Amino acid sequence: MATATGIEEDGRAGDGVETWRELNRANWDERVAVHLASDFYRVEQFVAGEDPLHGFEDGELGPLAGTAAIHLQCHLGLDTLALGRRGAEVTGLDFSRPALEAARRLADRTGVAARFVEADVYDAPAALGRRYDLVYTGKGALNWLPDMRRWAEVVASLLCPGGRLYLVEFHPFVSVFGDESLSLEYPYFDEGPVHLDDPGDYADPDARLSATRTVQFAHPLGEIVTALVEAGLVLEFLHELTECSFRRFPFLVESQPGLYAMPPGMVRLPMMFSLRARRPA
């Protein structure tokens, strides 16, 4: 069970030594082996041809053949390679070296051509050295970043004129609740970094991590959208979704393969959102 404590305003842990980035990287490095073996990520099924993207993503992304795409915070690269299977020229970026090593092995096993680059998101423009037709990101990515304005500027700088950002993310509203019930436990608005200490892993309830400390950040929906607009992008749509790509609460029911919703009789909540924004030509 996660416990939350405050940390210093600059994102450092209470001991003043380890930064938010170092804590989070150690945690995500250790998660890689757990995730590769988990039923949650279904790696072997992916190699055999299973698709991790949802139907609504295909409709909102549109045709990808010949598109140069960058997937920020790509982790194991499953979504990156799924874009590649659709004909995109794909690059994945992540700060975890073990995750990228696993992603490269998966690219070899699936025969999908992909480039994987080790870098922090905020260093992406310098690390990648080029622009793209599509920036793809989300599904548990933004809560690990402290500064949405800087993130949006990175996204804008990575896009070619006329290029698009496609973001699918867990709705910040539902993030205020605890893992087991609809009890209010976390802030909706940005009240500074939140330090969590949790030995568990969402992909495997039996796993126990040694790098237990992480630092996360709350970003309300208005902050995310405003940051993109201020970075010069034009919002094409914002869709709030009543389904989640994992069983966020134990009482959710599978509404369609890989998506979960509130059971009949309970009020629907916004579980995820998707948006597309364009850099003007």
- Taking the model in full, what pTM does it have? 0.93
Give per-residue pLDDT as tens, 204-252.
989 999 999 999 999 999 999 999 999 999 999 999 999 999 999 999 9
What CATH number does domain 21-189+219-278 carry, 3.20.20.70, 3.30.9.10, 3.40.1160.10, 3.40.50.150?
3.40.50.150
Which three-class secondary structure string do you get for the chain?
A: CCEEEECCCCCECCCCCCEHHHHHHHHHHHHHHHHHHCCCCCHHHHHCCCCCCCHHHHHHHCCCCCCEEEEECCCCCHHHHHHHHCCCEEEEEECCHHHHHHHHHHHHHHCCCEEEEECCHHHHHHHHCCCEEEEEEECCCHHHCCCHHHHHHHHHHHEEEEEEEEEEEECCCHHHECCCCCCECCCCCCCCCEEEECCCECCECCCCCCCCEEEECCCCHHHHHHHHHHCCCEEEEEEEECCECCCCCCCCEEEECCEEECCCCCCCCCCEEEEEEECCC
Where along the chain do its domains lie? 21-189+219-278
Give per-residue pLDDT as tens, 138-160.
999 999 999 999 999 999 999 99
Rounded to an integer, the average pLDDT of 40-46 is 97
